Amino acid sequence: MANRLKGKVAIVTGAGSGIGRAAAILFAKEGAKVVVADYDEKGGRETAAMISRAKGKAIFVKADVSSSSDAKKLVAAAVKNFGKLNILYNNAGIVRWGNAVECTEEDWNRVIDINMKGAWLCSKYAIPEMTKAGGGSIINTASIAGCVAFAKIAAYCASKGGLIELTKSMALDFAQNKIRVNAICPGVIKTGMTKGILNDKKTLQGMLKATVIGRLGEPEDIAYAALYLASDESSFVTGTTIVADGGWTVQ
Ligand SMILES: NC(=O)c1ccc[n+]([C@@H]2O[C@H](COP(=O)([O-])OP(=O)(O)OC[C@H]3O[C@@H](n4cnc5c(N)ncnc54)[C@H](O)[C@@H]3O)[C@@H](O)[C@H]2O)c1
């Protein structure tokens, strides 16, 4: 067990798979007590069990981040079980396909509710607890789709662009509470979210070509960026984004 997060208590949302799972496991390995949050009970319980098997500390809390009562319950569970809250990693997210004409109102609302409102709700309830703990770090998984446009995912692009701006707004408002707020903008990462499109050979080739480093990302590539932002090593870093995209947006 290493100790970059020794003594800290962290919530990771969307920790039942992909990037969230990798981050929860890494945070625990670095000494944090981790609240694994997801609305997928099976995936969430699996992540918590993986951490426990590796002798880390974790609990699973079933929560839909787009629900105010679930967000409140999630923060309360962290404090009840581990005594305080230092780190919130807002990572839960979904994608729905369609340009602005094709996108249904239902899909638009769901994407905005989870990707953007969910991060706000969890932060809303986490910030007072972090303030009590003497400060903390909030990390938001945005996307390079919040910096540059991607075809046919209008709601997703809007949600991630909004999340980047929310990151800056919260960084400004809560610096006085010693709370830092940063975002990560991943490029294409091999997770459940991209599995479907990466099965298509032509799409896969296109994505590999656009990723100048010559490979797609692994969940751990993003988890390590989150670890840096969660730890005190980034104590002078707030209101910014780390782009971890293998060079997708350099040209
Ligand atoms: N995979 C990529 O290429 C990529 C690129 C950029 C950004 N991202 C972002 O990374 C984050 C993690 O995605 P991933 O790639 O690991 O995908 P994933 O589908 O493997 O993981 C997402 C997790 O979030 C959970 N989740 C979804 N809605 C939720 C809700 N309302 N409440 C609680 N949990 C919920 C899911 O159950 C799942 O476990 C997302 O915010 C996504 O937008 C992913």
Nearest of 191, 156, 187, 143 to residue 43 by alpha carbon? 191
Question: What's the mean pLDDT in 1-12?
Answer: 93
- Which DSSP category does 231 fall into? S
Question: What's the mean pLDDT in 220-238?
Answer: 98
Residue type, 3: N
How far is ligand 1, taken at its centre, from the CA of residue 141, in Å?
A: 9
pLDDT at 2 over 90: no
How far is ligand 1, taken at its centre, from the CA of residue 54, in Å?
A: 24
Q: Which is the catalytic residue, given 39, 89, 125, 156?
A: 156
Q: Is 99 helix (H, G, I), strand (E, B) or coil?
A: coil
The finding on whether 225 has its CB within 6 A of some atom of ligand 1 is: no
128: tokens are 């007072």
The phi and psi torsions of 111 (rounded to 5 degrees) equal: -65, -45
pLDDT tens digits for 28-59? 999 999 999 999 999 999 999 999 999 999 99
Q: In this structure, which residue's CA is closest to atom 17 in ligand 1?
A: 193
How far is ligand 1, taken at its centre, from the CA of residue 176, in Å?
A: 30
The finding on whether 189 has its CB within 6 A of some atom of ligand 1 is: yes
pLDDT at 99 over 60: yes
Q: CB neighbours (10 Å) of residue 236?
A: 6
Nearest of 57, 5, 6 to residue 35 by alpha carbon? 57
Q: In this structure, which residue's CA is closest to atom 24 in ligand 1?
A: 14
Which atom of ligand 1 is found nearest the CA of 16? 39
- Mean of per-residue pLDDT scores for the chain: 98
pLDDT computed for residue 205 by the predictor = 97
Nearest of 175, 226, 238 to residue 4 by alpha carbon? 226
Residue type, 95: V
Cβ contact 234:226 at 8 Å = no
Q: Which domains are seen in the chain, by residue range?
A: 9-189+218-243 (3.40.50.720)
Of 140, 191, 241, 245, the one to substitute when testing ligand 1's pocket (max ligand atoms within 8 A of C-beta) is: 191
Active site residue 156: yes
The finding on whether 60 has its CB within 6 A of some atom of ligand 1 is: no
Question: What's the mean pLDDT in 92-112?
Answer: 98
Q: Mind giving me the DSSP string for 15-40?
A: TTSHHHHHHHHHHHHTT-EEEEEES-
pLDDT tens digits for 170-203? 999 999 999 999 999 999 999 999 999 999 999 9
d(CA 189, CA 132): 35
Which element (helix H / strand E) includes 74?
A: helix 68-82
pLDDT tens digits for 132-155? 999 999 999 999 999 999 999 999
pLDDT computed for residue 218 by the predictor = 98
pLDDT at 1 over 60: no
User: Helix 154-174 crosses helix 105-112 at what angle (to 10 degrees)?
Assistant: 30
Residue type, 119: A
Question: What's the mean pLDDT in 112-136?
Answer: 99
